[in-house]
Amino acid sequence: MEPIIILITILSITASAEYVSYKDYKVLEVLPKSEKDVKVLNDLKFSDSQFDYYVWSEVVSVNRKVKIMVEPKKQATLQNYLSTVGLEGEMIIEDVQSLIDQQMQRPAMLSNSSEYNWQYYQSMEEIDEWMEKIASQYSDIATIVTAGSSNQGHVIKGIKIDFKKKENPVIGMIESGLHAREWITPATATWMINEFLTSSNTEIRNLAENVVWHIFPVLNPDGYKYTFTDDRMWRKNRNTKNHVSCSQYNLSDDMSNGVDLNRNFGFLWMVIGASQNPCAQTYAGPAAFSEPEARAIANYVLGLQKEGNLVYYLALHSYSQMILVPYSHLGGEDVLQLPNYDPVTGSGFDWVKGEANVPIVLLYELRDVGQYGFLLPAHEIIPNNEEFMDSLVEIDRVARTLNYYQSSANIFSISSLLITLTILSMIYSTVRLFTNIKMTYELLNNYKFLKISFTILCLTHICIAVKTYESYKVYSVIPINEVHLQILTDLRKEGFEFWTEIVTKEKDVRIIVSPAQDYEFLDYMKNVGLNPVLSIPNVQSLINDQLNPATNIDRSSSLGSFSWDKYQNLDQIHSWLDELETSYPGIVSTVTIGNSNENRPIKGVIIDFKSGERGESPVIGMIEGGIHAREWISPATVTWIIKEFITSDNPDVRFMAEAFVWHIFPVVNPDGYVYTFTDDRMWRKNRNYLYTTNCSSDNDLSNGIDLNRNFDYQWMTVGASSNPCDQTFAGPTPASEPETQAISAHVERLKQAGDLIYYIAFHSYSQMILIPYNAVTGSSFDWVKGIANVPIVYLFELRDVGQYGFLLPTDQIIPNNEEIMACLLEMDKTTRVLGYYSSGSGLSIAFGLIFSIVLLVVVL
């Protein structure tokens, strides 16, 4: 009898034998007229009282009606509570079950029909069967696609519609049925499929045939089936692994058998608008991407980006009749406030914008505005669908006008805001014509241009906002054999980003992992016998610390307007260089050796304490900083060296500063460095849009070249990539980049102008001193040694050894700089002892390399 007992127990956990009745459940409508009223209703929605009352409205804001469903035995309590706090509740649905019964009914003439139609709501089985039939009927155009499987093993099935079979097509994806009870969304998605295949409307034909559409009517199949068999108001998926007792909330324990999929995505997971209580409707799961349905969607999106230009991602929900853009969590005085939508994070469409960086991402809240809520009568299905199609056609018309079909990645940040404003204005003016659709931008005309700038980033591919690395992690892995090395090499090819450039046995390798990759990464590592150790639990927290440094750093120093208690941006660095030229005339002069791809000056200073007194062949040193954009400690170190050379009274510093003519360039990759402040803190390359292509996670990855692989010395031999999506993309040809050309040309000029002895390049991180000819080729310092034949060439990998990596805290800037300065002084003493000041350029390459090795040992 034991098996029977166990079976009965499982059944009691996973499903109720009796369909949940909402007989005499009522829905009240409450109008908050002040922020105090909003707080009262939010307390109902988000505190433990949420389990006593079901707040249907996602939105709680002043002068916006809020719908609350209440069971019979609690109706008097709710009315008394509302009266106590000065609110009135108007009854708008007398009996929820009666609306459910109406939805379940099918017209008599259609009850036995095998034809799919939109006069009633279709079950999961009927939708799947219809899609199979459509794929067979239109086999040259439509095919069945699958994104994965649900918790209960149901295949997540969709339709791909492709009329032209082009290479690198424009792609759109439709997400529907993520919240199980929102029946109107699968009804809308299936209508779209039918319209795309059969409509004769010219604009619909353009939309259908110029985009390859991937449409998924039900992405939460378990939950959707459950609304037909057990509980019409079920919202979540059906994951029973987090089952707990909900009796303390006077709820069925079954309430804990599911996760809100639209809070489970790995973009700012569990920051706001979600719950950690399994009994809550907005339970976000035990971890980001814990659910197979959420992982399936994310992986499918990333896969589409490999197939072409993924322009559209549309998420269908109900109800409210709004069109929403991502990032509802944003706030502050510089952000357009959206009064229609509560802030939430962890949603699918936020992830698609924030992580996959798809250009046009919208969430439609379909009919109605609350009269029926989630229980929209069947007779409203077709009117809802028709107005949705009208809206989508208009959006697409604007998107085509603005060349989104060509290459969204080529739209520059400076114009993206203007484009977005245009799109929103045009969409807004059109959608207002539809009596049953409201835009979230009703206040658009009441805001100044700059007030709108930050929020309206959401429709364009290149956002004004900085890319977030919230919940990204860095793991440390130590390979111990050749098999491990091959495994890590393969992992890098699969799109995982390695902070460690050179992977060798028994050496620490750092890998940054996005929330979407985390589950897959750890599972793979376990299967292959590697044991990753978490090094940085949240990359974004370190970025935030760098951008908002502590103000009580004891060892701060400054020169003029410049200081080293924080990281300075390019404008601040260049302004300071100009300031030095004015403050130290005859000693400091600015020099520009060329311009970047985006036409920024590659600017530095010449420091010469004996100008006009050195004769025909002065001793020269050149320092390069900031060739890799994300290595902020590099410019901070180079600017410190400038300060020390100008102002230090240390005799050794004075000798080194005054014996040479110094050419010092804090940032030789100005475009990339600016981009780390404005868009993506972890950007490494320059900014070159000529080789834009489709990348697995983010097409913007291809918009740049690794300058330290682009020099014309054994270019592309080892340690570099020919793939524009890779961090080490070496460019189409050696020295293809204006930044590379500028550095090379200046080195050649200096060799003609005097005795160029030193070339020192600053990078991070690892705390090593490297000599030329190591495990990568095409680097600047290899070229300076191998082609320009400069005698003393070093590359300093600055702090640290991996605890913070590229995100070194600001309180380590000055200690780092001081130890580097001490190292340079020791190096220079040895240089003088060995006579490099007198005849450095005449020494052979061989002797120079031997000396470099000896000197490295001395310094270390």
Q: What is the CA radius of gyration of the chain?
A: 31
Using a 10 angstrom Cβ sphere, with 0-12 exposed, 13-18 middle and 19 or more buried, the burial of residue 812 is middle
Active-site residue, selected from the candidate residues 58, 291, 355, 365: 365
Name residue, tokens 């028994």.
506
Active-site residue, selected from the candidate residues 175, 394, 739, 797: 797
Residues 6+ apart with CB under 8 A from 732: 691
Residue 391, H or E segment = helix 381-401
Do residues 213 and 164 touch, judged by C-beta distance below 8 A? no
Q: How far apart are CA 506 and CA 483, in angstroms?
A: 12
Q: How far apart are CA 746 and CA 58, in angstroms?
A: 61
Q: Is 365 a catalytic residue?
A: yes
Can you give 778-806 as a three-state secondary structure string? CCHHHHHHHCCCCCEEEEEEECCCCCCCC
Nearest to 254 by CA among 14, 20, 54, 51: 14
Among positive and negative, which fits the CA dihedral 125, 131, 132, 137? Answer: positive
E strands, 678-774, where? 755-764, 768-770
Q: Is 797 a catalytic residue?
A: yes
Q: How far apart are CA 409 and CA 308, in angstroms?
A: 12
Give the torsion through C-alpha atoms of 407, 412, 414, 419, to 10 deg: 0
Q: How far apart are CA 510 and CA 521, in angstroms?
A: 13
Dihedrals phi, psi of 174, to nearest 5 degrees: -115, 125
Q: How far apart are CA 250 and CA 49, in angstroms?
A: 11
Residue 272, H or E segment = none
Q: How far apart are CA 104 and CA 375, in angstroms?
A: 10
Q: How far apart are CA 796 and CA 789, in angstroms?
A: 19
- State the catalytic residues: 365, 797
